[in-house]
Amino acid sequence: MRPASFSLFLFFLLFIHGTKAKNLIHETCRTCAQSDPNINYTFCASSLQAAPASRRASVRGLGSISITLIEHNVTDTRHFIKHLMGMKLDSYVKECLSDCFDLYTDAIDSVQKAREQYNSKQYDEANVVISTVLDATSTCEGGFTEKKGLVSPLTERNNDTFQLSAIALSIMHMVQTG
Ligand SMILES: *[C@@H]1O[C@H](CO)[C@@H](O)[C@H](O)[C@H]1NC(C)=O
Ligand SMILES: *[C@@H]1O[C@H](CO)[C@@H](O)[C@H](O)[C@H]1NC(C)=O
Ligand SMILES: *[C@@H]1O[C@H](CO)[C@@H](O)[C@H](O)[C@H]1NC(C)=O
């Protein structure tokens, strides 16, 4: 093969590969959104696409990436809550934040445990653990909504972690059922 046609060949190979990988993200997120009405397809696709190495990932790899995204989210949110706790706030809000801080502290441990379980293909166990993270976001948010007139400063973050956890659960189910 002449060099020019070889690089053209390479280009097509890379192009086809890139398109296929992108399709896998879309396909996976479409399945997630179909199986769980809580999952927003656009959020799923943009989150996975933004992650490094996601274009070359298999479905199992995307599951691992989704766990990493949860880990980043919960770690960042725990820092953010700590920052809020240092501010002058209503005592009820402080109480809520303190509960959320504990929930997110546990969530960091849970995600790390889930990563190990996922890596060793203990999907049922990882499922249980990720479900506790998903529940933690609702519990945290619920504290604020209990008192009338309060606006949760964590709505968006709770929702992001909720979405990512639902995505991880859905992908794990796909991996498990093949
Ligand atoms: C899905 O999320 C995107 C942003 O992530 C938002 O623009 C869109 O309105 C959401 N769609 C639904 C149905 O909630
Ligand atoms: C949480 O994850 C989502 C998706 O990866 C990202 O868009 C968002 O910025 C993250 N939030 C935090 C606080 O890290
Ligand atoms: C949660 O985030 C998703 C994706 O960005 C969005 O579609 C949905 O409306 C949000 N829900 C709430 C309650 O904010």
* Mean per-residue pLDDT, 139-146: 95
pTM for this predicted structure: 0.89
What pLDDT shows up at residue 104? 98
163 CB under 6 A from ligand 2? no
Asked if pLDDT for residue 4 goes beyond 90, the answer is: no
Give the residues surrounding ligand 3 with Cβ less than 6 Å away: 40, 43, 159, 163
Q: Is 83 exposed, middle or buried (0-12, 13-18, 19+ CB in 10 A)?
A: exposed
* pLDDT tens-digit readout, 86-96: 999 999 999 99
* pLDDT tens-digit readout, 17-26: 555 556 999 9
Domain interval for residue 85: 3-177
CATH number, domain containing residue 114: 1.20.140.40
User: CA angle, corner 41, sides to 125 and 20, nearest 5?
Assistant: 90
Structurally, how many domains does the chain consist of? 1
Phi and psi at residue 141, to the nearest 5°? -65, -40
